[in-house]
Amino acid sequence: MAVLNSPPPDTATGRSLPYARQHIDAVDIAAVVAALQSEYLTTGPAVARFEQAFAAYVGAPHAVAVSSGTAALHVAMLGLGVGAGDEVIVPPLTFAATANAVLYVGATPVFADVSPEALLIDPASIEHCISPRTRAVVAVDYAGQPCDYAALRALCALRGLTLVADACHALGAAHQDNPVGACADISAFSLHPAKHITTGEGGMITTADARLARRMRQLRNHGLSSEHSARTDWRYEMVELGFNYRLSDIQCALGLAQLSRADQWLARRRALARRYDALLADLPDVAPLPQLEDRTHAHHLYVLRLDDPSGARRDAVFAAMRQQGVGVNVHYPLVHLHPYYRRTLGTDSGLCPVAEEHAQRILTLPLFPDMADADVERVVAALRAALERVA
């Protein structure tokens, strides 16, 4: 049995293949060691250096480093002054943190459906969700494919709403010639190990609004009006209720080292995705999500879709591939169907029919820069065998 089920080893590690994995090498280790030996472990010069480099990379005037992508979304809501009585429109096909950040500030997430082709938030559905209480729309660049930011910006401008990008999948992506990070009023990134670059845990917020950036910098540090390094005496003032959402110098040093390789890793993700596309072309009943025109995809996730809308076939393929040591996954269980959301907001199936149908059909295949070409071939062979077995 053990022999029959023995997983195809991941070429890099000899272990079974995960769906995502960080790249850490001597460059990263040297950067972290240097930070550990420096004067500042936190709130030191590496923070501003990382923020400036990140802002430049995504073409945004300001970047604010925080302790996670979730903190980035929370601080974005706080910075916008969203609170009790307000509504924020979010898609259901995302990590729960997108909507949780709205709840953290006492506001209500309202779920707009996604479009069937690439599963991105549907502007027509957003229109139906707008009420006098709506303050903002959060767009999620699902799998790394940017939303139609031109359409979303126009819609938000017309309706007086703020556009927030949950860009946690989309570092390096672009809509037309605009990099994600400079497409919305505020963009939130995650630096979790499963994402494009990592600081262990971490996040980044980008904006073109200098006042908003200053406010968000204050909110990540207890609501204090000055940072420790900028003070000349013991005095400081807490001017609003903030949080300790700081990112340490150790983490920022790692982030800087990682960012210097971001383009190279993105190119590798793209090449691996092309290889999957080619190998999957002759498999029946499965198709990758399409890549839309006018967009640079960041290939965070490689998501394919099966034909069976009941989900039974997807679940059987999932189980068969996991048994073969291939770390397939499903992104995501829909947020509005989580027990907490059902219980507290009364959301239920039928609210977002497109997302609900496609959530039964999607499957995420392993994708990360250190995957070998042979790993892609093994994943597709395992998929082919699984499809035949569960036909």
Ligand X SMILES: *Cc1c(COP(=O)(O)O)cnc(C)c1O
Cβ proximity to ligand X, 97 vs 380, nearer residue: 97
Query: Shortest approach of ligand X to residue 246 CB, angstroms?
Result: 14
Residue 104 CA to residue 118 CA, distance in Å, equals 29
User: For residue 83, what are the contacts with CB-CB under 8 A and spacing of at least 6?
Assistant: 105, 106, 107
- Which residue has the CB atom at the shortest distance from ligand X? 69
- Of 204 and 320, nearer to ligand X (C-beta) is 204
Query: In 208-355, where do the E strands start and end?
Result: 286-288, 295-296, 302-306
Q: Give the integer Cα–Cα distance in Å for 36 and 42.
A: 10
What sign for the dihedral angle of Cα 335, 339, 340, 344? positive
- Residue with smaller CB distance to ligand X, 286 or 355: 355
Q: Which is nearer to ligand X, 97 or 262 (CB)?
A: 97
- Closest separation in Å from C-beta 281 to ligand X: 28
Its sign, for the CA torsion 128, 129, 131, 134, is negative
Q: Name the DSSP class of 226.
A: S
Residues that bind ligand X (CB under 6 A): 68-70, 94-95, 97-98, 140, 166, 168-169, 190, 192, 203
CB of 170 to ligand X, least distance (A): 9
β-strand pairing of 286-288 with 302-306: antiparallel
Nearer Cβ to ligand X (145/324): 145
Q: What is the CA radius of gyration of the chain?
A: 21
Closest to 271 measured CA to CA, from 367, 144, 198: 367
- Could you tell me the two tokens for 192? 């979790």
Q: Which of 195, 217, 300, 378 is catalytic?
A: 195
Closest CB 26 distance from ligand X, rounded Å: 25
What is the rounded CA–CA span in Å between residue 310 and residue 122?
23
Question: Strand, helix or coil at 20?
Answer: coil
**Residue 153 three-state SS:** helix
| 195 in catalytic set | yes
Q: Supply the minimum distance, in Å, between the C-beta of residue 262 and ligand X.
A: 16
Catalytic residues: 195
